[in-house]
Each structure stands twice: as structure tokens, then as C-alpha cells.
Structure 1
Amino acid sequence: MQICPAISLNSLIKHFLILESDGPVNHQMFADGNPGIVFHYDQPISEGSQQNIMPGSFLYGQLKDCKHLISSGKTGMVVAVLQPYGIYALTGIPANTFKNHFTALEDVLGHQVTELEERILNAFSSEERIQILETFFIKKYSSLYSVDPEVRHALELICTHKGLLPIAWINQKLQITERQLERKFNIQIGTSPKYFSGIVKIHQTLKLFQHTPVSSTAQVACEAGYFDQAHFIHDFKKITGVSPLKYLNQSHKLAVNLFPAGV
């Protein structure tokens, strides 16, 4: 279930996700250009292997590889999906520090997280958990780190044009060198402008797939700016971890970039 945040949090949080299961589950997630913070309750969850038990809350940066969150029993998760610059705005720590891995939230935000985890664990409903998190983030709002206007402008251009703009054109538009923009992106977004554009481009195909028959993958790829089917399939599998056909045949998607992969 996807829930919009309070309007006052829109510039930090894209949306919340509530994921609950009565039995064993293996959530497969891949890059969507947004970092996030996960709180879980009921049975423990692990990353990839049952031996790697996750803390009660953790954050993830920009993803490069597919990740698996596994539970052997009834479990629930509430995910605050942040804006692309969300980790930097919240912590002031270079976002590429968290690229492609999970980090215990307490290691980043300190002991205040312990009480927050307990409140999430003891909440009686999803609505109460969202309220607890919104209150927490609103209190953080006054101490957010500012995001470079050039980074914001570049993000807007990339997203508005669905990842199709050449990075050189963006550099020229912003009157900034390729090296300068890449450095700012790595610090505040956690990845390069080129890689971020690639994620946006692939997600445009995912949106098109929602309204297109499975037999039309080549047409969708072309509409999204791919003129080489092999290149499209390579990029798709690199980001999602599965082929376009396998993704399309997945009927129980929990979000565009999150679906059960079996236990």
C-alpha cells in the first residue's frame, strides 16, 4: 500500500509504503532513483541470507544491484521512500557513502532511533505508524541540509525529459562542467547523473508496460528511447535483475520496483 506524506514533507519524502505478510516472503527490490528508510516489525527480516539479520530500522542509498529482503514468518515493513537527495538533506553525509547497501539507522541518527523503533513496533495500525514517522520527520525539517540548486535543476530536467537528455546538454544548460555536476550528484544524490538518467529511462518503460500488451516490448522500448532491443534488455536486466518478460509476468508487484521473488 502506497501512502502520500503530509504536504509539508513532500520535499523530503516521496511516499510511504506499507508491506505486510502473514507468511514467509522474499521481497526483491531494485533501483528507482530514490533512497529510503525501512522500519520492520513482527518476525525478523534478513538481507539475501537468513544469516544476515537486519536491525529494526535501516536506510538504503541509491541501489546498483537487486536486493532481497527475506522473512521466514509473519512480518511487516513501513518504508519512507525519500526524494533522490533525501539522505543528504536528512544527514548532511555524502549520499554515495550509502550507495548500494543497507545501514542501521541508529548508526546514522543516533540513540533517538531506539525509541522510534519501539513506537513503530508497538503501534496498533499502519495509520498510527505513518503518523509517528511524519511527526519524527517534521521535527527534523528545521535542521535539513540544503540541496544545491544546480542539482535540483538537473534532477528536474532528467525527470521531466524521462532520462532522454544527453548529460552534455544538461551541463551546457546549467553552465557547469561534467566533472562538477558529477561531483555534486555523487555527494547529494549518491550516483552519477548518467546512471540516474538510466534509472529514470528504465522506469519510463515500466510505466509504459503497465498499459501495453506483453507482445509489444520492442515498441515500448522504442517509445522510451531505446532503438536497440539488445541494449534495452541489457540495461533492463542490469537495473531490475530480471528480463522484461519475467518482470511483465510478475502479477503481484508491491511497487514498481518491489515484488515477491519466492522464498
Structure 2
Amino acid sequence: MMKSNSHIYTPVQPFVKQPEEAVVYREFLPDLPLQEYIYCYWQLKTTRPLTAPFHYRVVADGCMDIFFELHDPRQSFVMGFSDAYTSFPLEGSFNYVGIRFLPGMFPRLFRLNAAEISKQVISLEDVAPAVTRFLQDCFHAEMSEQQLKSLLDGFLRDHIAQKMSPADNRLLEAVDLIVRHSGVISLEKELPPGISSRQLRRLFEFYIGDTPKVFSKVVRFQKILQSTHSPEHIRRNKSYLDAGYYDQAHFIREFKTLYGLTPAKVFGK
């Protein structure tokens, strides 16, 4: 897990290597000034052609991602906020590179209503054609991690300086409250000053892609995901109750929806 020094939210995307280690996944940080907006860059690639399909699981993390195929940067996409895991079947050889934006940042950078692409993967060309052209013109399959980082850093620094829309402090405060309380909070009782629950819901839908309640659910799940405890430890100490779940069945059901596997399979027996 990587942690940005400038933000308290550290979304986890776990990765299980294939037995043959034919697929590798890695994350690397952008320049420090960009870490207020971008959690990480990532790369998912094969070390040799696959002999069987590989199902890449993306768990719910509250973020939005741009990703593209380094062998053919015309294949570029945006993945919106999701309240469930997503599985991508991949075959043959591939080399995907991605940019994971912290919650609420992508719509500020690209003037997009996040709710319009929530729970979807769409073509980047439909959202940010200038980024699509940049990827097509500047990227190729043989690039090193440092070359990828340098190009992405430079483009995003310029884009932020020219295109970044101002933040709504009420939204930022609400997101901060949810993250600091690990998703276990009643925003109706702790609303930022000068905003109603209806106004806050509209802000969350526009900048995050869903309601404060759903975002809180994802943050709560992410906090549990960072735990190194076994299912036995979680059951014995009933730590799922401290995390805001009603009971063990609620915890298991929600975890499976957001991850695609039960806690026992994820944390080990």
C-alpha cells in the first residue's frame, strides 16, 4: 500500500499474482505537488503471453481512473466511481497504465459530472479529447517507469495550472470528515456549516459520483481492507461492529459486494 504525504486517504487495490507470475502490477507516486490530486500511477502488464484468461479484479475505492493500453494508446478509458467490485477478463499480452485520482478531483480537472459515468467505463475521447491526443502522440510500448512518470507529471502539472476548477470547501470538509471517521459518521448530524443535506448530496453526486452514504460505505470497506487481522480475529473481537456494520452477516455481505470475495478468502483462514 502506498501513502501520499499530502492526503490522509490511502485507497487500496490489492493484487494477487498468478502462480506463474505472468502478470505484474505496481504503483508509483506522482511528483509531490500532484499528490493532492492524484493518489498514484499504476501499471498492469504481462511478462509473457498468457495461456489462459486473467480476471483482473478492481475493488471499490472511491476513486476515478484514467487508463490506457501502452501498446496502443488509442485504447484509453475512464472508470467512474463504483459501489461494487469490477472484473476485467484479459487475454494474451497487455500493458495497461493508469492514473488514479483522489475522490472528487477528476471532475474538477475535466469539468465533468461524475454521476454521469458512475459505475461505468467509457472512452476517454468522450470526456477529455486533449488527454487522448497527448497519450496517442507521446506514449509507446517500450517506455520505462521513469519515462511514464515524467510525461504524466509534466502534462498533469500544466493541466492543473490551466484547467483546475476551484474547490467547494463544504465538499472538502465533508469528505475529510468521512475519511477521518473511517466512514462511520452521520453527516446529517455533523454537516459542514452553511449547507443542507440536499445540497451536500448534489455536491457528492457531481464530484464523487454517488451519495455521501455510499461514499462512506466505500471508505469504511477500505479501512477494513487495510487490516491485517484474520477472519477469526475479526469475529472474536467483533471489530466489524466498531467499523459500523450491524452484524457479521452485514459485514460479510457488504465486503463481498465491494471486493468480490468473502473476508475469509481475502484475509486467509
| Range into which the TM-score falls when normalised by the shorter chain | 0.7 to 0.9
Corresponding residue for 2:57? 28
Contact 2:66–2:76, Cα closer than 8 Å, also in 1: yes
Distance 1:207 1:57 in 2: 30
**Alpha-carbon displacement from aligned partner over 1:35-61 (angstroms, at most 9, x marks no partner):** 11112224x8xxxxxxxxx96211111
Distance 1:64 1:138, change over 3 A: same
2:233 corresponds, among 206, 213, 216, to 216
Hey, what's the Cα distance between the residues in 1 that align with 2:204 and 2:133?
Answer: 31
Task: Tell me whether 1:244 sits opposite 2:269 in the alignment.
Answer: no
C-alpha spacing 1:94/1:29, structure 2 compared with 1 (3 Å)? same
Secondary structure of the structure 1 residue equivalent to 2:225: helix
* Identity across matched positions, percent: 25
Q: Deviation at 1:69?
A: 2.2
Give the 5 Å matches for 1:62-141: 62-141=81-160
Matched to 2:217, the amino acid is G
Q: 1:115 Cα shift? A: 4.0
Asked whether 1:176 is paired with 2:195, we answer yes
Are the aligned partners of 1:40 and 1:78 in contact in 2 as well (CA < 8 Å)?
A: yes
Structure 1 residue ranges without an equivalent (≥5): 45-53, 251-263
Partner in structure 2 of residue 7 of structure 1: 32
Distance apart, 1:111 and its partner CA: 5.0
3-state SS in 1 of match to 2:43: strand
CA distance in 1, matches of 2:86, 2:56: 8
1:10 partner SS? helix
Distance 1:174 1:241, change over 3 A: farther
Report how far residue 92 of structure 1 moved: 1.0
1:40 pairs with 2:61: no
Paired with 1:216 and 1:227, the residues of 2 have a C-alpha distance of 17
Instruction: Report the number of matched residues.
Output: 237
Unpaired runs of 5+ residues, structure 2, are 1-25
Q: Is the 8 A contact 1:94 1:187 kept in 2?
A: yes
Q: CA deviation at 1:145?
A: 1.4
Name the stretch that deviates more: 61-70 or 132-141. 61-70
What is the deviation of 1:30? 2.0
> Is the contact between residue 85 and residue 147 of structure 1 (CA under 8 Å) also seen in structure 2?
no
**Quick one: which of 159, 165, 168 aligns to 1:145?**
165
| Counterpart among 204, 226, 242 of residue 223 in structure 2 | 204
More helix by share: 1
Q: Hey, which bits of structure 1, 4+ residues long, moved more than 4 A?
A: none
State the shift of 1:213 in Å.
2.6
Asked whether 1:156 is paired with 2:173, we answer no
Matches of 2:214 and 2:95 in 1, distance apart? 31
One-letter code of the match for 1:162?
Answer: S
How far is 1:110 from its partner? 1.4
Query: Which shows bigger deviation, 193-202 or 161-170?
Result: 161-170
Q: Which has the higher contact order (CA 8 A, sep 6+)?
A: 1
Q: Could you tell me how far apart the structure 2 residues matched to 1:227 and 1:68 are?
A: 28
How far 1:123 sits from its partner (Å)?
Answer: 4.4
The answer to whether the Cα contact below 8 Å between 1:147 and 1:188 also exists between their aligned partners in 2 is no
1 CA distance for matches of 2:261 and 2:193?
36
Shift of 1:122: 4.1
The C-alpha deviation readout for 1:138-188, integer Å capped at 9, x for no partner, is 1101211122110000011100111111121232x4342111100111011
